[in-house]
Amino acid sequence: MDRRRLGVQLLWSLLLALLVYIGLIVYGDWRQLSALLADFPWGWLAPTLALTLVNFGVRLLKWHWYLRLIRTPISFGQSARIYGISFLMMMTPGKVGEFVRAFMVRNVSGAPVSVVAPVVLAERMTDGLAMILLAGIGLLAVDDARIRLAAVTALLAIAAIIVAIQIRPLALWYLGLGHRLPLVNRFADKLSAFYESSYFLLQPKYLAASVLIGVFSWASQGLAFYLVLLGFGAVAGVGAMLTSISAFNMSTVVGAVVATPGGLGGVESSLAALSIQLLGLSRPAAAAAALLIRFATLWFGVAIGLVSLALWPHLLTTQKKPETEAQEV
């Protein structure tokens, strides 16, 4: 991948983030918001970041598990480095840059991009399904038809894609037709490899396990949001904890639908709105909570990505021969 282009995308994303956060600060009233941040129990930031690391770590394990399922010759250390760099790709529109992971896997293992790319697709699809299931805990309590529609639409889209992949005769017929069509026939073989890998990874036994892993990882991230909300005055309790998990995942789904870099704008506005509607926070407290949890999730991840890229920039450079690290665990 062109690192200069990536740098330009990051700069545009930072500009968008600046505009979003200025708007959020204005919305929350700067004076009240700054007072709330000053009174926040900053010792809670460590467990909040630890829960974020749990989310990242569990997702890394799922990523490596998927690579092992398709028999990719890659060590866990290589998987972790690639996954670390991919956190930078959150700042690409719609996170499409995350598919660069397939390019990096090819560099170190020689596995074709067309075979590895469906791993990224399957990972995102099953994460999305897990988030929507978690969001559904409090879905009916949200008095916002747009949020409900976004969540339901995303669920239906994921279900439709999975069902289509599982109807193998129909899929094979379409792939066979692609070999006879001009222009499309040049990509037919790669599409076939893409389909075969997707079909295998989304079989019911792997799908169920992947969604359960996703539920655990994204519930931990929702718990981090719950800690932040408690620091800004939310009432403690099991109900508030479940609502916080639901609100965080609803907001993440909205951010995915908006498809801005990192979900900027969509996630923050949803987090603030749901904190007010479902948990009774004041507008300044809701804005402060949205700002802090995004620091502890999105920007924490971007920082990991920057460090990873600085340590292993060669992973984004095409190699003449795959790297071999036989002794690495």
**Threshold 0.95, pTM exceeds:** no
Average pLDDT of span 112-126: 87
140: left (phi over 0), alpha (psi -120 to 50) or beta: alpha
Q: Say whether 223 sits in a helix, a strand or coil.
A: helix
- For 76, other C-beta atoms within 10 Å of its C-beta total 14
Average pLDDT over residues 260-281: 90
Q: How far apart are the first and last CA of the chain?
A: 27
Span 194-242, pLDDT tens digits: 677 677 887 888 988 999 999 999 999 999 999 999 999 998 988 889 8
**Predicted confidence band at 325 (pLDDT cuts at 50, 70, 90)?**
very low
- The pLDDT value recorded for residue 74 is 94
Q: pLDDT digit string (tens) for 285-320?
A: 999 999 999 999 999 999 999 999 999 988 887 654
Confidence of residue 138 (pLDDT cuts 50, 70, 90): low
What does the pLDDT read at residue 92?
Answer: 76
Two structure tokens written together for 84? 């670390």
Tell me the pLDDT band of 327, cut-offs 50, 70 and 90: very low
The residue among 86, 84, 222, 253 whose CA lies nearest residue 153 is 253
Q: Which two tokens stand for residue 201?
A: 């990874």
DSSP state letter for 305: H
DSSP string covering 34-64, please? HHHHHHS-GGGHHHHHHHHHHHHHHHHHHHH
Q: How crowded is residue 248: how many other Cβ atoms within 10 Å of its Cβ? A: 30
Residue 136: its pLDDT value, please?
A: 76
